[in-house]
Amino acid sequence: MSAGWGLTTAIDAVLSVILAPACAACEEPLERPTQGPVCERCWRSILPLTPPLCDRCGDPLPTWRAVSVPLERCPRCRRTPRLVDRGRAIGAYDGALRAIIHALKYEGRRSLARPLGALMRRRGADMLEGAVCAIPVPLHASRRRYRGFNQAADLARHVGIPAVAALRRVRPTPTQTGLPAAQRHRNVRDAFALTRAGAGLAGAAVVLIDDVSTTGATLEACARALKHAGVREVRALTAARAVFSRM
Ligand SMILES: [Zn+2]
Ligand SMILES: [Zn+2]
């Protein structure tokens, strides 16, 4: 039985005075702690990436180029053939969204996966449509042990289609932070393989799920393993996209 509105309001009032929990993103005291660890203002501040977006990776495009070309691609996607067919994110890896992902991933605030997954579901509805399953980008077993959970798997459970652990990391990869794109692609190129749960996806459309996409190297490596197994269409839905300034 769920507590009524009056009761949760009373509980909120008591909790906010006694415990004074802070928002996991902006660190202001939470007015309604029973509503989760992030305040309403922070959730509302997460803006979608502004169209026009690259048809392929979901990056914003310079408006002057795309006005008359509805299916335009960003310079990066035009330069290199992509295995991920379409990609989308809730928003840019910035501000409250960045802080929320940080809290989920590094502070173990796993309850944030549900509202974040719900937001991915809303803003990525066209990515999910017609797809048979959501496939979390796996962590290598050693890193998973260290962190205790895989944030991508937590998110995949809340996007509204069945989550299937179809991939595993066959070798640990050095952290990608601070590496140039070409090296990131080399690092992860053959890092993934299909699991037994991933068998039988041939001919299907699937959605890769991850917290942040930067150069897309990890998603591409996942897509390589999936397409090798005959998956027809690989889409990617991430909580955030690190958007680079373009030349
Ligand atoms: Zn906040
Ligand atoms: Zn692109």
Q: Quick one: which ligand is closest to 38's CA?
A: 1
Name the closest ligand to CA 35: 1
Neighbours of ion ligand 1 (CB under 5 A): 23, 25-26, 39, 42
Q: Could you tell me the distance, in angstroms and rounded to a whole number, from the CA of residue 192 to the centre of ligand 1? A: 36
pLDDT at 205 over 50: yes
Please, what is the average pLDDT of the chain? 88
Q: Calculate how far, in angstroms, residue 176's C-alpha sits from the geometric centre of ligand 1.
A: 29
Range of weakest confidence among 83-92, 137-146, 177-186 = 177-186
Examine the pLDDT at 206 and tell me if it is beyond 80.
yes
What is the Å distance from ligand 2's center to 67 Cα?
16
pLDDT at position 76 over 90: no
- CA-based end-to-end distance of the chain: 56
Looking at all shown ligands, the one closest to residue 36's CA atom is: 1
Phi, psi of 213 (to 5 degrees): -115, 130
SS (H, E, C) 219-244: HHHHHHHHHHCCCCEEEEEEEEECCC
pLDDT in tens, 41-68: 999 999 999 888 888 888 888 765 545 5
